[in-house]
Amino acid sequence: MKALKIQQESRPDKHHEVAIVYNNIGRTFHKMKDYQRALSFYMKGMKIQEKSLLENNPDLATTYNNIGQVHSDMGDYIKAEWYHQCAINIRQKCLPENHPEMAISYNNIAYTFFKRKNYKESISYYKKATEILQCCPQSHPNLAAFYHNIGEVYHEMGDYLKAEQSYKTALDIQQLFFSDDYGALANRNDNLGSLYLQLEKYPKAILYYKKALALRQESFPKNHPKLAASFNNIGVLYRRMGNCAEALSNYEKGLAILRSVLSENDCELAIYNNNIGLAYHEDGQHAKALFYSKEALKIQEKCLPSNHPNLIGIFNNIALAHCGMRDYFEAISYHIRATEIQHKSFGTNHWG
């Protein structure tokens, strides 16, 4: 905040350099997942830039992009799309067609379409992004990630062959050009593990998940959140296989790691509590399932807007626990809450 105070004292409030400081503060809050404060500072910077810069200035595009990213992280994908489109409109006028910043913008807007289940538009923009990066003189670090994103869309569409091809392309690029980035390499293995889990090819799934875990154990501290993610994925696999004891063991390893490094209200903790709740539900221990699912809900309600799509799954899981305990009226009330968010987020014609 010292930089902001200095700029405010030495520059007019509408000066472009004050906007830069606002944006830097917003970016810091964004990294801290304090989305409301991040948005507040980004908006202050945007208002100054809209008055002090030409309408096609690339700095304004960057600010629009940042605001779009915050809205994406908050689950407001309609607003996110609008700001990303504003960024694209500017960049198309002031940058070459194959500029890497164009690829970033296309990737970001593709994500908003993906989250809103508009897979055709999502694939179109993701492919534009990859085509740009393929033109770079050297392989771009984001190229593997963009192929992963394409794979993720095909995965959601149920086109598992194309998903597998995209995920394997991402892994090949990572191994060929960026094999020293163990974290990213682990992510690519994770993607394939998740696909094979979906296809119920459990031996392949556990192979890729354990490769990811080994890479993370080699490159990260013992309490790194990425290790927790690997334990969580392996837990999901064992739960799908009906081995609730192994599932709970891995979930609890992941939860213990996150509790040691995150604040008690971090959204990541909600995911792990929710998964433990599901495992207990499938093991027939509905009271324990309800306890962990409600722990997940308490956390999510503190860190997310009341209509965030991530709440849908938790409400449904709480409903399942109540149903297992034969408390049907409570079950119905939570299903209704999930449905209301579903309608607000995706419209009345979408059922996920």
CATH topology assigned to domain 138-219: 1.25.40
Residue 14 confidence (pLDDT) = 56
The CA–CA distances, whole Å, from 185 to 147, 173, 223, 272 equal 13, 10, 19, 23
- Residue 311 CB partners (closer than 8 Å, separation 6+): 297, 300, 301, 304, 337, 338, 341
Residue 349 confidence (pLDDT) = 52
In the chain, the amino acid numbered 71 is H
CA dist., res. 277 & res. 299, Å (int): 14
Instruction: Quote the tokens at residue 15.
Output: 């000066």
Q: Mean pLDDT in each 10-residue stretch from start to end of the chain (352 residues)?
A: 49 72 95 93 94 90 97 95 97 94 97 97 97 82 93 96 97 90 94 96 97 96 95 96 96 96 88 94 94 94 86 93 94 93 70 44
Residue 9 confidence (pLDDT) = 47
Q: Which of 274, 307, 314 is nearest to 292 (CA)?
A: 274
Neighbours of 352 (CB within 10 A): 10
The CA–CA distances, whole Å, from 318 to 86, 251, 325 equal 40, 18, 11
CA dist., res. 64 & res. 84, Å (int): 6
CA dist., res. 14 & res. 153, Å (int): 42
Q: How many residues in total does the chain contain? A: 352
Residue 82 confidence (pLDDT) = 98
Residue 151 confidence (pLDDT) = 97
- Residue 237 CB partners (closer than 8 Å, separation 6+): 193, 197, 202, 205, 206, 209, 247
